[in-house]
């Protein structure tokens, strides 16, 4: 199976994760600052939307391969909330996504990327 498109999606996700880390380092990892600074708020939320968008475009084979590691329905839900119900997003849940879920998902994406890259080079 050729996972080159999935690897491209992983690269986008990892870039967005890196951008979020830079933004959070710049503004601080403080919930109140996140709520009060519109540049902070909108920039990380846009990155999360991009992560959700790219995650929704993984191939069926990729999703099946990693089904035991990722709840793809939850990822799709996050993406849909950011894309279609942005104003209705719960700020606390978004902050939890940024501070708890995202580092775990980033780690998964890094591991999946290197695993697929290794397979393609064999």
- From first to last of its 122 residues, the chain has per-residue pLDDT tens of 678 999 999 999 999 999 999 999 999 999 999 999 999 999 999 999 899 999 989 999 999 999 999 988 888 777 777 776 655 668 888 898 899 999 999 999 999 999 999 998 87
* Integer Cα distance of 119 and 4 in angstroms: 11
pLDDT score at 73: 84
**pTM for the complete prediction?**
0.90
- The gap from C-alpha 41 to its chain's centroid, in whole angstroms, comes to 16
Decide if 31 is inside a domain.
Answer: yes
Decide if 20 is inside a domain.
Answer: yes
Decide if 86 is inside a domain.
Answer: yes
Decide if 122 is inside a domain.
Answer: no
pLDDT score at 113: 97
Decide if 92 is inside a domain.
Answer: yes
Task: Name the CA radius of gyration of the chain, rounded.
Answer: 15
**Could you tell me if 43 and 18 are in contact, meaning their C-beta atoms sit under 8 angstroms apart?**
no
How many structural domains compose the chain?
A: 1
* Residues spanned by the domain of 84: 3-117
Decide if 63 is inside a domain.
Answer: yes
Decide if 32 is inside a domain.
Answer: yes
Decide if 70 is inside a domain.
Answer: yes
pLDDT score at 2: 74
């Amino acid at each position: 199976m050729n996972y080159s498109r999935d690897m491209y999606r992983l690269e986008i996700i990892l870039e967005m994760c890196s951008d979020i880390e830079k933004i959070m380092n710049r503004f601080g990892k403080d919930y109140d600052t996140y709520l009060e600074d519109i540049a902070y708020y909108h920039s990380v939320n846009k990155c999360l939307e991009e992560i959700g968008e790219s995650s929704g475009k993984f191939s069926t084979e990729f999703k099946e391969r990693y089904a035991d590691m990722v709840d793809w329905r939850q990822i799709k839900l996050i993406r849909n909330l950011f894309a279609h119900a942005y104003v209705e997003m719960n700020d606390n849940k978004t902050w939890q996504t940024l501070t708890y879920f995202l580092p775990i998902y980033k780690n998964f994406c890094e591991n999946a990327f290197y695993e697929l890259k290794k397979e393609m080079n064999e």
